[in-house]
Amino acid sequence: MYHDNDRARIFTRRAMMLAGGQAVLMSTLVGRMYYLQVVEADKYRMQADDNRISTQLLAPSRGLILDRNGIAMAVNQHNYVVQVIPEQTPSIDYTLDQLSQIILLTDNDRARIHKDARRHRSFVPITVRENLSWEEVARIEVNAPDLPGAVIDVGQSRYYPLQELGAHILGYVAAPSEADLQAESADSLLQLPGFRIGKAGVERVYDLALRGKGGTKKLEVNAVGRVINELERKEGVPGVDLTLTLDTRLQEFAARRLGDQSAAVVVLDIHSGAVIVMASTPSFDPNAFNRGLTTAEWSNLVNNPYSPLTNKAIAGQFAPGSTFKPMTALAALENNAITPDTQVFCPGFTQLGNFIFRCWKHGGHGLLNVEGALKHSCDVFFYEAARRVGIDRIHEMSARFGLSAQTGIDLPRELPGLVPSRTWKRHTLNQPWLPGETMINGIGQGYMLVTPLQLAVMVSRIANGGLGVVPHVARDLITGSEVHPRPAPNWPSLNVSHQSLDVVRQGMIAVCNEPGGTGYSARITEDGMWMAGKTGTAQVRHITTREREAGLKPLSEIPWKERDHALFIGFAPTEAPRYGVAVVVEHGGHGGSVAAPIARDILIEVQKRDLARMAAAPESH
């Protein structure tokens, strides 16, 4: 009996302990369930939604690019894309074989499609080809029953309606590179298939503003990621429309006037710095970069001796020849090495030690002052002026007028050019400067290199009274994605006396408007449109004494690469200057007969457009 009572107490105690343990476990479970379902409900509801809802980026519409008159230079157009959905076709190769009878598909296209198919799930559409024509889309739609898994999608693609016209300024868009994608500041939009970013020109400089901001769409998906329904869509913010200072009609006229030569022309508003014309020939079609260049197309572009991919206006470096003489004149005048009345006799040559420096005119020009020397482009006068003032002061004056450095224009890949100095030669070549080099560089030869844009800036600063105008191609000020109206210009003074500038300007007026001037045959005869200027012919190879004695060959008998560069700088109208122009024709021959007539015709057209605008404008009251 005793033992039975002990066993009962032990059993009861164990039962209570077991019941207590179960109660503790049940309390813990209930508490945990309460914590998860009540306290943490929002957190797990969010995680469940994340598994159920897929948020995807939407590409914004890229901003348009317009000329100063509102003419579209870069727009967006429908991009028709054919895609294949692997799970909806018994064989990708079968569908591709059928498609290849309708559109062109290369072996590279097939390899890419199979690679993409292996990387994605079977229900994800794979791009077969972009930029289909409407006729190709129609043929695919008509044959849809025989193309299992093939679907047409519509997106946006960049399009340049003027094609080659203005291509160097506009640039082009292309897919982001690996470096773009891996950059710390990389926009998530760059991950979108088919997204394009600016790669050159203003497309690159103002890419952030043109790109806009992406939108989003929320999709309901099942456990394997298949889209069931679209829940929400927020469209992105389109990119800003960019208005340029260019006039496309004048741009077209300039390109047509340059023809098929390797050449460049720049026209600036000398007061505001607005680029009215910037043409570089030959050009290229930027649409080809958007759709993708073929190997043959790329080879033709890079192997063309006329360098169509180079914007010669900002990246073509040429010896300025006699167009540099105004700088030598200003340096000498401002440093009292010469005066406006200083006269130098030109017998056709001058001598320094055992070296003879020849003038372009065999018999010489006789006695000339600085205005006459500019008018006749006398080399001997400027040899002497350069010798007196020295290369370092010539370098300093040239820097004030925009040479030997980038101009600051809002375009990429601008080259700085070169105006040498004693310090430059010592640091670069580890050689001392020679007196004869001063004389050669004083007429724009030797080490000298400039771009057409730098020449246009130089002549604009001469014409506007010595103000440091800076060129630009965007009408507004744009920083990142912020756009602000460009304020009225307040250019700094270059601290050059008006007397010296007047002497140089009078010499340039004589070049084009007085008989005997090197640009007289290309003068503008219309009243109120007269042009001032300076011709230049820059040698690309040394002409020996024997060649001179034998007689120079006509241009047609000289290989293109050995011909002189033809240059001209000018401004108009002479009474109240408004426009500066620079023309360079690579290996074109003589500046007076080749480059000056081009500048004349363009300046006439620019001024006629001004008169037409004023006539069309309503009278102010």
- Residue 497 has a pLDDT of 97
- Residue 236 has a pLDDT of 76
> How confident is residue 230, by pLDDT bands cut at 50, 70 and 90?
low
Question: Which residue did the predictor score with more confidence, 38 or 333?
Answer: 333
Q: How many CB atoms lie within 10 A of CB 64?
A: 18
Q: Which domain holds residue 465?
A: 248-616
The per-residue b/e assignment along 164-176, b for 16 or more CB within 10 angstroms, e otherwise, is: bbbbbbbbbbbeb
Do 82 and 99 form a contact (C-beta atoms < 8 A)?
A: yes
Lookup result for tokens 């070049």: 511
- Residue 90 has a pLDDT of 86
End-to-end Cα separation, the chain, in angstroms: 129
For the record, the structure tokens of 75 come out as 């727009």
- Residue 545 has a pLDDT of 54
Give the count of alpha carbons within 13 A of 354, CB side only.
Answer: 0
Do 582 and 455 form a contact (C-beta atoms < 8 A)?
A: yes
Residue 51 has pLDDT above 70, yes or no: no
Same domain (yes/no): 430, 521: yes
Q: Tell me how far CA of residue 552 lies from CA of 355, 393, 544, 549, 557, in angstroms.
A: 21, 35, 10, 8, 10
Q: What are phi and psi of 80, to 5 degrees?
A: -85, 125
Q: How many CB atoms lie within 10 A of CB 508?
A: 28
- Residue 204 has a pLDDT of 95
Residue 184 has pLDDT above 70, yes or no: no
- Pick from 198, 217, 243: which residue ends a domain? 243
Residue 53 has pLDDT above 80, yes or no: no
Counting Cβ atoms within 10 Å, is residue 231 exposed (0-12), middle (13-18) or buried (19+)?
middle
For 283-298, what is the mean pLDDT? 84
Number of independent structural domains in the chain: 2
Q: Could you write out the DSSP letters of every residue in 17-84? A: HHHHHHHHHHHHHHHHHHIIIIITHHHHHHHHHHHHEEEEEEPPPPPPEE-TTS-EEEEEEEEEEEEE
- 118 falls within a domain: yes
Task: Report the chain's mean pLDDT, rounded to a whole number.
Answer: 87
Counting Cβ atoms within 10 Å, is residue 422 exposed (0-12), middle (13-18) or buried (19+)?
middle
Alpha carbons 587 and 538: distance in angstroms, whole number = 9
CATH of the domain at 128: 3.90.1310.10
Alpha carbons 603 and 431: distance in angstroms, whole number = 44
Residue 349 has pLDDT above 60, yes or no: yes
Dihedral, CA of residue 451, residue 456, residue 457 and residue 459, to nearest 10: 120
- Residue 224 has a pLDDT of 47
Same domain (yes/no): 122, 265: no
Active site annotation includes 322: yes
Q: Which of helix, strand or coil describes residue 112?
A: helix
- 23 falls within a domain: no
- Residue 544 has a pLDDT of 55
Same domain (yes/no): 564, 586: yes
pTM over 0.95: no
For 33-44, what is the mean pLDDT? 63
Q: Tell me how far CA of residue 7 lies from CA of 2, 3, 14, in angstroms.
A: 9, 6, 11
Same domain (yes/no): 238, 259: no
Same domain (yes/no): 504, 591: yes
- Residue 241 has a pLDDT of 94
- Residue 9 has a pLDDT of 67
- Residue 620 has a pLDDT of 44
Q: Tell me how far CA of residue 427 lies from CA of 105, 393, 396, 432, in angstroms.
A: 56, 18, 17, 10
Q: Tell me how far CA of residue 142 lies from CA of 150, 151, 184, 294, in angstroms.
A: 12, 12, 47, 29
Residue 547 has pLDDT above 70, yes or no: no
**Percent of the chain residues topping a pLDDT of 70:** 86
Instruction: Convert the pLDDT of each residue in 139-159 to its tens digit.
Output: 988 888 888 888 888 878 899
Q: Tell me how far CA of residue 165 lies from CA of 66, 157, 287, in angstroms.
A: 13, 19, 12
Alpha carbons 117 and 113: distance in angstroms, whole number = 6
Residue 500 has pLDDT above 80, yes or no: yes
The per-residue b/e assignment along 473-494, b for 16 or more CB within 10 angstroms, e otherwise, is: bbbbebeebebeeeeebebeeb
Same domain (yes/no): 228, 266: no
- 263 falls within a domain: yes
CATH of the domain at 341: 3.40.710.10
Same domain (yes/no): 213, 351: no
Q: Which of helix, strand or coil describes residue 481?
A: coil
Range in 7-11, 352-356, 367-371, 434-438 with the lowest mean pLDDT? 7-11
201: left (phi over 0), alpha (psi -120 to 50) or beta: left
Q: Which of helix, strand or coil describes residue 170?
A: helix
The H or E element containing residue 180 is: helix 178-182
Amino acid at 356: I
Same domain (yes/no): 254, 237: no
Same domain (yes/no): 211, 288: no
3 state SS for 353-380:
CCEEEECCCCCCCEEECHHHHHHHCCHH
- Residue 493 has a pLDDT of 97
Same domain (yes/no): 237, 254: no
Range in 19-28, 270-279, 296-305, 307-316 with the lowest mean pLDDT? 19-28
Neighbouring-strand partners of residue 281: 263
Neighbouring-strand partners of residue 368: 344
- 504 falls within a domain: yes
In whole angstroms, what separates CA 351 from the centre of its chain?
Answer: 45
For the record, the structure tokens of 249 come out as 């009609």
Same domain (yes/no): 473, 376: yes
Same domain (yes/no): 397, 414: yes
Secondary-structure breakdown of the chain: helix, strand, coil percentages, each rounded to the nearest 5: 45, 20, 35
- 20 falls within a domain: no
For 490-495, what is the mean pLDDT? 96
> How confident is residue 240, by pLDDT bands cut at 50, 70 and 90?
very high
> How confident is residue 231, by pLDDT bands cut at 50, 70 and 90?
low
- Pick from 201, 219, 243: which residue ends a domain? 243
> How confident is residue 5, by pLDDT bands cut at 50, 70 and 90?
low
- Pick from 217, 243, 269: which residue ends a domain? 243
- 29 falls within a domain: no
Instruction: Convert the pLDDT of each residue in 558-600 to its tens digit.
Output: 887 888 999 999 999 999 999 999 999 999 999 999 999 999 9
- 170 falls within a domain: yes
Question: Which residue did the predictor score with more confidence, 38 or 328?
Answer: 328
For 328-344, what is the mean pLDDT? 97
Tell me the longest C-alpha to C-alpha distance in the chain. 152
To the nearest 10 degrees (0 to 180), the angle between helices 325-334 and 391-400 is 110
Question: Which residue did the predictor score with more confidence, 306 or 87?
Answer: 306
Active-site hit among 322, 377, 398, 421:
322
- 495 falls within a domain: yes
